[in-house]
Chain A
Amino acid sequence: MSITYLEAICEAQSHALRDDPRVFIYGQDVGAFGGAFKATKNLAKEYPGRVIDAPISEDAMVGLAVGAAIEGMRPIIEMQFADFSTVGFNQIVNQAATLFWRTTVPCPITVRLPFGGTSGSGPFHSQSLEAVYAHYPGLVVMTPATVEDAYSMLLEAVAIDDPVIFCEHKFLYYHLKADKLPSEALPVGKARIAREGRDMTIVAYSAMVHEALEAAAELAPEGWEVEVVDLRTVKPLDTDTVMASVARTGRLLCVGEAWPWGGVTAEVIARVTSEGFGLLDVPPQRLNAKDTPVPYHPNLWTAHRPTPQAVAAAARRLLRL
């Protein structure tokens, strides 16, 4: 048996619906149609009345989830694309993210964001918004990079009493497969060493973990042993695991698919330089998408985002410093 990242997300939702009567799914086309990406395939049939089509109203979708959460439910909101969550941004960052702090009443909602670039998707179906949401207090931001994490972290997201922004990478939906679903997982908030090495650390998350692993494999025949840290959640950020890795390697490259300005890679570098400056042998570097909207044509798109080749090139430059 093999299961894809997308099927793991569908299975996790099925599991959550089965185990917890408080769970329901609300989003555009999630009902009988099974979702734009089929992440809710068959769920409306299996759980009648609990997988519900929403109008194209991202603001009202999230608002409804907050009201339902106050009444004790555990809603999962599917944004059709992460890009459209900006229409529901106000409800996420001002309503959901402030509720507990203002009132002591928790807001257990999960907002699923199919995010990241795929070839030909262009400026409005490719965005990576994890840093934008991580900027706001009151939110947990998950960025699973593996089939196993997609499954176990989505279950955790639903179980957590706080609003969770669940960033699921569209490129990984079909490309990533595992033999089976996991029975146990690392705790949420804990990063993972995806590949061990002693010469440098690459910190990445979501799809960029795979680009980093490919780059590490490319560098191995050249004699470099590259360690890859998968952040798993960008908020909270597991600074300890990153720092421990940098303590071993002395070199740090952060890779993110999002735009560079004030992003997750900037945050990681800020933490390592302010708390572990002495661990660094050379200045830390980062590699992000370019600071433009995400382009449509594959020629532009592959040059816009970090590819394994770009990561490997950046790593080589860092190793020679």
Chain B
Amino acid sequence: MLARAGADKLSAMLQTVLDPDPVSDGVTARDTHLAAYRYMLLARLLDEKFASLYRAGKIHGGVFIARGQEALSVAVGISLKRGDVFAPLIRDTAGRLAFGEPVIDAVRTYLGSILGPMRGRDGNVHRGRPKEGYLPMISHLGAMISVVNGALFARRMKGISGTVGATCIGDGGTATGAFHEALNQAAIEKLPLVLVIANNHYAYSTPNDREFACRDLADRAPGYGVEAQSVDGTDLSACLKVLGEAVARARSGRGPQMVVATLLRLCGHGEHDKAEYIDPKLKASPVGRDCLKIAEEFQLGQKWTDAAALERLRGEVVREIEAAVAQAQREPVPDPFTEDWCAISSRHLSETHGEKDSA
């Protein structure tokens, strides 16, 4: 009973929602670029905070950061509207924030706060708010694509039009059967799916030539009857343009859209990984550029910002992160004695035998 009352109270506390949509219609390219940059910076510094908390032993399990992939990810999140469906993957800190994930959701999930969306039951990048179209990834690659298809399929059955669904995957994830099945399914059903592939050149440590043999992953799209665009994933302007167009095409009823971005993961697979396998030649090549730096230089070149404004922004972002971390660190963590240990919602059908055994 105690556990039940606790769960009810908890679910009442969890009635928070995603942040409101920051980018509305009629904004200029400059506004979008500036807004996107802020999310990129927030994502970069938030990831760095997670990495340092991890090294300090404050985070259980792994930390998976997105250094080098922020431009692509933010372009996905910012191109979507509230009411769309988004299933991000491991390196989408920026896209999640741009889609409306409050910083505190990310921090609470990493720190295992019971007030976070996953309540300590799942951690790190496994977070979302399914009822708000923000789907929490499972670790099995390719598995989220057909789930997005299902959400879009259901909306069509219910007569809801005009929303799109986006999901992200890496070069390695394109080698799964789930990826093939789901993309084929989306094409058959002509669903408004935007499938974003970040080719960061390594699936954990495995290079491209051990993951696929086609010239370019975008070449696969016509085989499915799907449109594809390629983009330089280090260039925020290009990412915003290509993702904006892909989302618009999906929204207008053109069917599934694939976007393949070329970039380099500028970190390990997780913070436990020194990533010594990354080819130094790739690091020195244009794909190894830091997208955050490029976006910053572009804005300075356009005179959209200046050094003082960037410094102010950084301070503001750091304070936002520190406040969230300070808050989440004071919050309760899960308690095994009040946890109800029930895996299904139909409580009367739950198995109690195991509990009796361990009691």
Contacts and interface: CB of A to CB of B under 8 A. Distances in A.
A61 B149 CA distance: 10
A54 B148 CA distance: 16
Contacts of A98: 138, 343
B151 interface: yes
B346 A68 contact: no
A123 B63 CA distance: 44
Interface stretch (B276-284, B319-327, B347-355): B347-355
A86 B260 CA distance: 31
A143 to B, nearest CB: 14
B358 interface: no
A139 B117 CA distance: 22
Interface in B41-98: 85
B146 A64 contact: yes
Interface in B328-359: 342-346, 348-351, 353, 356-357
B130 interface: yes
Given A63-B178, A95-B143, A189-B349, A70 B135 contact: yes
A63 B145 contact: yes
A174 interface: no
Interface string A52-92: 00110111111111111111110100000000000100110
Given A24-B157, A73-B157, A162 B146 contact: no
Nearest to A24: B157
Contact of A271 (B117, B139, B353): B353
Contacts of B344: 100-101, 137-140, 161-162
Contacts of B357: 274
Given A67-B151, A67-B152, A105-B130, A162 B345 contact: yes
Interface in A114-157: 137-140
A75 B154 CA distance: 9
A152 to B, nearest CB: 15
A178 B140 CA distance: 44
Interface residues of B, number: 51
Contact of A72 (B14, B117, B154, B177): B154
B345 A90 contact: no
A55 B157 contact: no
Contact of A55 (B138, B153, B181): B181
Contact of B118 (A75, A103, A275): A103
A55 B143 CA distance: 16
Interface stretch (B28-36, B182-190, B210-218): B182-190
Contacts of B155: 71
Interface stretch (B121-129, B236-244, B264-272, B291-299): B121-129
A300 to B, nearest CB: 32
Contacts, number: 158
A49 B349 contact: no
Contact of B181 (A59, A65, A94, A100): A59
Given A94-B143, A162-B349, A63 B343 contact: no
A64 B130 contact: no
Interface residues on A, range: 35 or more
Contacts of B152: 67
A87 B344 CA distance: 23
Interface stretch (A165-173, A191-199, A235-243): A235-243
B16 interface: no
A137 B342 CA distance: 9
Interface in A35-60: 49-50, 54-55, 57-60
Contacts of A72: 154, 158
Contact of B345 (A50, A62, A95, A100): A100
Given A59-B146, A63-B182, A94 B140 contact: yes
Contacts of B158: 71-73
Contacts of B288: none
Contacts of B146: 57, 59-64, 66-67, 91
A120 B152 CA distance: 41
B150 interface: yes
Interface of B: 11, 14, 85, 117-118, 121-122, 126, 128-131, 135-136, 138-140, 143-155, 157-158, 177-178, 181-182, 184-185, 188, 342-346, 348-351, 353, 356-357
Given A64-B149, A70-B154, 6 more contacts: A59-B182, A63-B150, A66-B150, A94-B139, A103-B130, A140-B344
Interface of A: 24, 49-50, 54-55, 57-73, 75, 87, 90-91, 94-95, 97-106, 137-140, 160-162, 188-189, 235-237, 239, 271, 274-275
29 contacts: A55-B181, A57-B182, A57-B185, A59-B143, A60-B149, A64-B185, A67-B135, A67-B146, A67-B150, A68-B150, A68-B154, A68-B157, A70-B151, A73-B158, A75-B150, A90-B140, A90-B143, A90-B178, A94-B140, A95-B143, A101-B342, A102-B118, A103-B130, A162-B349, A189-B348, A235-B351, A236-B351, A237-B353, A271-B353
